[in-house]
Amino acid sequence: MKARYTYRIYPNPLQQSKLARVFGCVRVVYNDALAVVKATPVVWPSNNELQKLVITQAKKTKAREWLTQVSNIPLQQSVADLGVAFKNWFAALKGNGKARFPRFKSRCGKQSARFRKGGFSLKGNKLFLAKMGGFKVRWSRELPKTPSSVTIVKNTAGQYHASFVVEIEPKSVEPIRESIGIDLGIKTFAFPSVGGPINAPSYSRLDRKIRRASKRMARQQKGSKRRKATRMKIAKLHLRIRNTRKDFLHKTSTKLICENQTVSLENLNVSGMVKNRKLARAISQQGWREFRTMLESKAAGHINRTVNVINRWEPTSQVCSDCGFKWGKLDLSVRSILCVSCGAKHHRDENAAKNIEIVGAGYVHDSKRTRRARKTTTVAMPVETSSHEVAHQLSLFA
pLDDT digits (tens, 9 = 90+) for 216-268: 999 999 999 999 999 999 999 999 999 999 999 999 999 999 999 999 998 88
Output the pLDDT for position 372.
38
Beta carbons of 395 and 379 less than 8 angstroms apart: yes
Distance CA 16, CA 231 (A): 20
Strands 391-395 and 336-338: parallel
Output the pLDDT for position 268.
85
Rg of the chain over all Cα atoms, to the nearest angstrom: 27
User: Which segments of the chain have a pLDDT < 50?
Assistant: 368-398
- Whole-model pTM: value is 0.81
Terminus-to-terminus CA distance in the chain, angstroms? 58
CA dihedral over 343, 349, 350, 356, signed as positive or negative: positive
Catalytic residue IDs: 183, 266, 349
Distance CA 121, CA 8 (A): 16
Question: What is the residue type of 158?
Answer: G
Beta carbons of 134 and 121 less than 8 angstroms apart: no
Distance CA 310, CA 144 (A): 35
* Sequence-distant (≥ 6) Cβ neighbours of residue 381 within 8 angstroms: 338, 391, 392, 393
Strands 120-123 and 111-116: unpaired
Specify the DSSP element, H or E, that contains 391.
Answer: strand 391-395
Distance CA 25, CA 302 (A): 39
The tally of CA atoms less than 13 A away on the side-chain side of residue 97 is: 12
The tally of CA atoms less than 13 A away on the side-chain side of residue 348 is: 21
Output the pLDDT for position 384.
38
Output the pLDDT for position 214.
96
Of 378, 382, 387, 369, nearest in space to 339 by CA: 378
Give the SS3 label for residue 217: helix
Q: For residue 262, report the phi and psi dihedrals to the nearest 5 degrees.
A: -130, 130
Output the pLDDT for position 111.
95
Please count the other Cβ atoms lying within 10 Å of the Cβ belonging to residue 194: 15
Output the pLDDT for position 365.
62
Beta carbons of 112 and 151 less than 8 angstroms apart: yes
Output the pLDDT for position 366.
54
Output the pLDDT for position 252.
95
Give the SS3 label for residue 22: helix
Mean pLDDT, the chain, as a whole number? 87
Output the pLDDT for position 370.
42
CA dihedral over 274, 93, 113, 228, signed as positive or negative: negative
Of 210, 211, 184, nearest in space to 197 by CA: 184
What length does the chain have?
A: 398
